Amino acid sequence: MTNVVGLTCVICGKTYPADFAGYVCPDHGNEGILDVRYDYDKIGETFTKESLAADPDRTMWRYRPLLPIAPDAAVPPLTVGGTPMYDAAPLAAELGLAKVWVKDEGREPTASLKDRASAMAVVKAQERGAEVVTTASTGNAAAALSGISASVGQRNVIFVPASAPEAKIAQLLAYGSTVALVNGTYGDAFDLCMEASAEYGWYNRNTGYNPFMTEGKKTAGLEILEDLGWEAPDAIFVSVGDGSIIGGVHKAMKDALALGWIDRMPRIFGIQSAGSDYMVQAFENGEDVLTKPPISADTVADSISADLPRDRIKAMAAVTETGGIYLRVSDEEILAAIPTLARGSGVFAEPAGAAPYAGLVTAVERGLVGADDQVVLLATGSGLKDVASALKAVAAIGTTPMRIDPTLDSLRAALNN
């Protein structure tokens, strides 16, 4: 028995039973994403800040009563969650903010936050006895599903655009997934994966379709709050592609508020690349994300490149319901954020992981955050995922190594002393 009381359609509000076997609201098709609802009164009877503090399990499964899995469900052996959050004093000083915290999701087993969702997907797939689990992905969700599946011997089929960064493709192949490199965009890969999973009966992990992915991702938000002693920060900056991570962070805050573990909602800031700014456009123009057509996305930050953010309803609510804002930053600003974040916090992030820092710079310039504010940046993926972009970023700011012979004289000449 889980603590789930039902699954509610984000469009019509109709609620389906906890054991509902579908993925989306039948009345609303693929747009009818379901939100998992819990019995907070029951949860709060035994699951408390104190019981958590006494729990030695540092993984995402420490929040199990708030997850859609049974108390005795087997979970994959890889250590997912429990990532560090650093007090980046140099960045706070540079920007004139009270605190800047950087949560390093590059420390997950496959080096991105997606492990939290994919671990959940594998538990649910095995609960249903699925022979095969599948996903489409820009790369990280795929690598995560691939790695976590490997850890339990779960067969899986992965659809990624052929343009995905090499490191991510290397992970898929090393983990032994069946890999389809699709000649097309992430959107094309997504549509094909949806068709294939219906055709073959594979368990579908797709983002903004499978309702449990947000629940896995929210554990990052719960960790942020727990690390801060259940004092909500003033603002949380999250990069947005499909909008599932930002929806998950919002869900964590709502869970903690419902349990009375925090007493206010932090503002949630959604950051997108100017080349993939569907949510920013919708936010600025007050457009309805249900009817707004796809855009044509193109950005160096491959993990947040989305023509049509699949989880856009939850993603919009995360910002509008918390007094946050959607901000766009240029690819140049995203690249520049990689070395700045690395130098100011020690966290080396891929472009999408550094984008929240670029967003924070913009927010400071526009006076949206200020001297009293404590800000959390969610660094969603490791810089090792996309070394080509990191090299481009350092070249752009003129950082070059010394090229020297293996002698002290040569070193001295290069150092000029």
Ligand X SMILES: *Cc1c(COP(=O)(O)O)cnc(C)c1O
* Contacts for 286 with CB less than 8 Å, ≥ 6 apart: none
End-to-end CA distance of the chain: 70
Rank residues 65 and 359 by Cβ distance to ligand X and give the closer one: 359
Q: Give which of ligand X, Zn ion, none residue 240 binds (C-beta under 5 to 8 Å, depending on kind).
A: ligand X
Rank residues 4 and 337 by Cβ distance to Zn ion and give the closer one: 4
Determine the Cα–Cα distance for residues 300 and 125; give it in Å rounded to an integer. Answer: 33
Task: Return the closest-CA partner of residue 90 out of 80, 102, 78, 79.
Answer: 102
Rounding to the nearest 10 degrees, give the CA dihedral for residues 345, 172, 334, 108: -30
Rank residues 242 and 255 by Cβ distance to ligand X and give the closer one: 242
Amino acid, res. 7: L
Instruction: Note whether 135 binds ligand X by CB under 6 A.
Output: no
Instruction: Note whether 241 binds ligand X by CB under 6 A.
Output: yes
Q: Give which of ligand X, Zn ion, none residue 68 binds (C-beta under 5 to 8 Å, depending on kind).
A: none
Instruction: Note whether 118 binds ligand X by CB under 6 A.
Output: no
Instruction: State in angstroms the smallest separation of the CB of 49 from ligand X.
Output: 28
Instruction: Note whether 120 binds ligand X by CB under 6 A.
Output: no
Pair of tokens at residue 375: 């800000």
Determine the Cα–Cα distance for residues 226 and 244; give it in Å rounded to an integer. Answer: 21
211, 266, 353, 359: which one binds ligand X (CB under 6 A)? 353
Scanning 120-128, 234-242, 325-333, 408-416 for contacts with ligand X by CB under 6 A, the matching segment is 234-242
Scanning 23-31, 217-225, 273-281, 304-312 for contacts with Zn ion by CB under 5 A, the matching segment is 23-31
8, 126, 149, 239: which one binds ligand X (CB under 6 A)? 239
Instruction: Note whether 277 binds ligand X by CB under 6 A.
Output: no
Task: Return the closest-CA partner of residue 123 out of 162, 87, 75, 63.
Answer: 75
Instruction: Note whether 12 binds Zn ion by CB under 5 A.
Output: yes
Scanning 17-25, 175-183, 238-246, 286-294 for contacts with Zn ion by CB under 5 A, the matching segment is 17-25
Determine the Cα–Cα distance for residues 220 and 252; give it in Å rounded to an integer. Answer: 8
Q: Give which of Zn ion, ligand X, none residue 27 binds (C-beta under 5 to 8 Å, depending on kind).
A: Zn ion
Instruction: State in angstroms the smallest separation of the CB of 337 from ligand X.
Output: 13
Ranges within 377-396 binding ligand X (CB under 6 A): 380-381
Amino acid, res. 325: I
Scanning 60-68, 79-87, 235-243, 327-335 for contacts with ligand X by CB under 6 A, the matching segment is 235-243
Rank residues 148 and 259 by Cβ distance to ligand X and give the closer one: 148
Q: Give which of ligand X, Zn ion, none residue 242 binds (C-beta under 5 to 8 Å, depending on kind).
A: ligand X
Task: State the DSSP code for 294.
Answer: P
- List 136's β-bridge partners, or say none: 159
Residue 91: C-alpha distances to residues 87, 203, 377 (Å) = 9, 43, 11
Scanning 20-28, 86-94, 95-103, 345-353 for contacts with ligand X by CB under 6 A, the matching segment is 345-353
Instruction: State in angstroms the smallest separation of the CB of 126 from ligand X.
Output: 23
Instruction: Note whether 147 binds ligand X by CB under 6 A.
Output: no
CB atoms within 10 A of CB 137: 29
Q: How many Å separate Cα 316 from the centre of its chain?
A: 15
Determine the Cα–Cα distance for residues 126 and 143; give it in Å rounded to an integer. Answer: 18
Determine the Cα–Cα distance for residues 110 and 303; give it in Å rounded to an integer. Answer: 14
66, 119, 194, 304: which one binds ligand X (CB under 6 A)? 304
Instruction: Note whether 250 binds ligand X by CB under 6 A.
Output: no
Rank residues 113 and 125 by Cβ distance to ligand X and give the closer one: 113
- List 268's β-bridge partners, or say none: 236
Instruction: Note whether 66 binds ligand X by CB under 6 A.
Output: no
Instruction: Note whether 27 binds Zn ion by CB under 5 A.
Output: yes
Rank residues 140 and 156 by Cβ distance to ligand X and give the closer one: 140
Q: Is 207 left (phi over 0), alpha (psi -120 to 50) or beta?
A: beta
Q: How many residues bind Zn ion (CB under 5 A)?
A: 7
Amino acid, res. 385: K
Cβ pair 310, 387 in contact under 8 A: no
Determine the Cα–Cα distance for residues 251 and 297; give it in Å rounded to an integer. Answer: 27
Ranges within 150-179 binding Zn ion (CB under 5 A): none
Instruction: State in angstroms the smallest separation of the CB of 298 from ligand X.
Output: 16
Cβ burial of 258 (10 Å; 0-12, 13-18, 19+) is: middle
Is 128 strand, coil or helix? coil
Residues at the site binding Zn ion, with contacts judged by CB under 5 A: 9, 11-12, 25, 27-28, 32
Residues at the site binding ligand X, with contacts judged by CB under 6 A: 112, 114, 140, 207, 239-246, 303-304, 350, 352-353, 380-381
